[in-house]
Amino acid sequence: MDGALGEWRELLGERATVAPDAYGRNLTEFAARSLTAVLRPTSREEVQAIVAVAARHRVPLYPVSAGRNWGLGSRLPVRDGCALVDLGLMNRILAVDEELHYAVVEPGVTQRQLADALAGGPCMLNVTGSAEHTSVVGNTLERGVGMLGLRTRDLRALEAVLGTGEVVRTGHWAAEGSGGPDWHHHPDGLGPDVTGLFAQSAFGIVTAAVIGLHPRQEYELALVNAPDDGLAGHVDALRRLRQMDAFVDRIEVNSADDPRLIGIRDEARTAAWATWAAVRASEKAVLAAWKDRIAAAFGDVEFFGAADPSLPEPARTRLRKLSGEPGDEYVDAMAGRPVDTRRAFALDDDPAFPGFVCALPAVPFAGAHVTAIVAAARRIDADTGVHTHLTFNSVSAHSMEGFFRVMFDRADPAQVATAHAWSARAQREFAALGYRPMRTGVDTMAYANGHTAMLRAIKHALDPASLMSPGRYIAS
Ligand SMILES: Cc1cc2nc3c(=O)[nH]c(=O)nc-3n(C[C@H](O)[C@H](O)[C@H](O)COP(=O)(O)OP(=O)(O)OC[C@H]3O[C@@H](n4cnc5c(N)ncnc54)[C@H](O)[C@@H]3O)c2cc1C
């Protein structure tokens, strides 16, 4: 290992170090992995050189973009013995096209940075509910979900350094340099689309991505309340309206104890479930027609627009995010106080920040399925003695991401063990019911996906020495 670190030092100087302990800390209290080095490249060329050294010395690499994968492992690799490639210094916005709605960004570009670059223009980023200083590329590669739906839907092409050291560009980007007006207007390239191979995978280090942007437009929010015994009908009514495009993704069905609802729950709003759903509001006549339709579908609904004088804070926050403005509000709500998320280890090295572990099953957008998995979650809660906060985020007109999380006291080993046992059991039991994870944490990567042999063959071709993110989403 000395040999590899020595070579990386020659290459990167002080940007190649032995791993400080901080890299092992994480708010989920997963066991730290041993790291052979932390490497902080500033360019694709440096990434290529890092891979060449790794190949010579057979040291696996684990890339992270901003490393704020909270709840799933923060910046921990899946396996011991990796050199962590921290891409935070590769933070250039390489291009913005306001006509064809895309930005080309390096992995260290944060939501805040891109939102600022787009401010006042005609298009905006699909921001997530996570912190301002999370990575657009990192979240997209994890298949994160923004306020306007699945981030991978916005991914048009990317550039990656493979385990072989080769640089590839996907989509039509591969043709850049051969003349022509623009390479990023069309999503899939020509022939088999390989962009998707790099999401939730272990084939390479993504060094830039083409991120589709959204037209900047006005939304109104519907807050729809439902009792527990009305949940199935509530979800089915939401789906029908989503299928008609009355609502945009992500519709968010929350159990009423969700910390992000503090400030809107009061004597008048006590139902067991509270759903946020956004309606396009730029065309007032269209908005009015949808509001009539929505009001007729639900007994208990309120509407909030950005111009409302007495807007409750949770509605204001959501409308801000829907207008492409990221913020730390949901992190603050979790902590119960403001948190400075600019610091790389902000939540992870703060023992007072609540412990947090989650399970993220894919659930059909149908009342019967939602109530079935809620019943399973409550059964597991009763057995394990935890309390799960339940959210369902629509990712399409047909499917939802369950975002189930348990918070715990990080200083109490018994609570930590219980929360971890909950996560493993919940994921296993949900999968047995047919609700397989759509994302998972570094301690729960082991699952079969039915095409393991094909993935291994691709892995062997793109990363023959198994240098890239060992154990991540691809069984080895
Ligand atoms: C209060 C709160 C709210 C949240 N809200 C949301 C939400 O609304 N939506 C959501 O999706 N998540 C949410 N999260 C979870 C998480 O914080 C985000 O998903 C966050 O964006 C992930 O961290 P990151 O952007 O720094 O990505 P990273 O941690 O950098 O990347 C995630 C993973 O992708 C892989 N990866 C990253 N970069 C590369 C690369 N360049 N090449 C190859 N592989 C790479 C790595 O395996 C890495 O571990 C929330 C968390 C909290 C605590």
Domain 355-439 - what CATH class? alpha beta
Domain with CATH 3.30.465.10 in the chain: 96-215
CA distance 373 to 148: 24
Residue 1 has pLDDT above 60, yes or no: no
Compute φ and ψ for 370, nearest 5 degrees: -65, -45
For ligand 1, atom 27: residue with the closest CA: 138
- For residue 334, the ligand 1 atom closest to its alpha carbon is 1
pLDDT given at position 446? 76
pLDDT given at position 92? 98
Helix axes 367-384, 231-243, angle to 10 degrees: 140
pLDDT given at position 474? 86
Residue 179 has pLDDT above 80, yes or no: no
Residue closest to 71 by CA, chosen among 382, 401, 381: 401
Domain with CATH 3.30.70 in the chain: 219-323
- Rounded to the nearest whole angstrom, what is the distance from the C-alpha of residue 138 to the centroid of ligand 1? 5
Residues 6+ apart with CB under 8 A from 152: 140, 143, 196, 199
Residue 216 has pLDDT above 90, yes or no: yes
Over residues 195-215, the mean pLDDT reads: 97
- Residue whose tokens read 């309390």: 387
Weakest-pLDDT range from 191-205, 267-281, 393-407: 267-281
Helix (H, G, I), strand (E, B) or coil at 164: coil
Torsion of CA 20, 25, 26, 28, to 10 degrees: 160
Residues 6+ apart with CB under 8 A from 331: 130, 131, 339, 341, 347
Tell me the CATH architecture of domain 96-215: 2-Layer Sandwich (3.30)
Higher pLDDT, 452 or 214: 214
Residue 326 has pLDDT above 70, yes or no: yes
159: β partners: 169, 208
For ligand 1, atom 49: residue with the closest CA: 64
CB-ligand 1 contact for 65 (6 Å cutoff): yes
The token duo for 380 is: 């597991």
Q: Is the CATH code 3.30.70 the one for domain 219-323?
A: yes
Show contacts of 260-264: CB within 8 Å, 24+ apart: 260/129, 260/314, 260/317, 260/329, 260/330, 260/333, 261/314, 262/314, 262/333, 263/312, 263/313, 263/314, 264/223, 264/312, 264/313, 264/314, 264/315
Tens of pLDDT, residues 295-318: 999 988 999 999 998 899 999 999
CB-ligand 1 contact for 341 (6 Å cutoff): no
pLDDT given at position 274? 94
Cα 357 vs. chain centroid, distance in angstroms? Answer: 14
CB atoms within 10 A of CB 396: 14
- Among residues of the chain, what percentage have pLDDT more than 90? 83
CA distance 43 to 27: 30
Q: How much is the ipTM here?
A: 0.99
pLDDT given at position 50? 98
pLDDT given at position 177? 72
Q: 474 burial class (0-12, 13-18, 19+ CB within 10 angstroms)?
A: buried
Task: Name the helix (H) or strand (E) containing 52.
Answer: helix 44-57
pLDDT given at position 450? 72
303: β partners: 222
CB-ligand 1 contact for 472 (6 Å cutoff): yes
Tens of pLDDT, residues 439-464: 999 999 877 677 888 999 999 999 99
- Rounded to the nearest whole angstrom, what is the distance from the C-alpha of residue 209 to the centroid of ligand 1? 15
Over residues 173-186, the mean pLDDT reads: 79
Domain with CATH 3.40.462.10 in the chain: 355-439
CA distance 25 to 27: 7
- Rounded to the nearest whole angstrom, what is the distance from the C-alpha of residue 140 to the centroid of ligand 1? 8
- Rounded to the nearest whole angstrom, what is the distance from the C-alpha of residue 4 to the centroid of ligand 1? 28
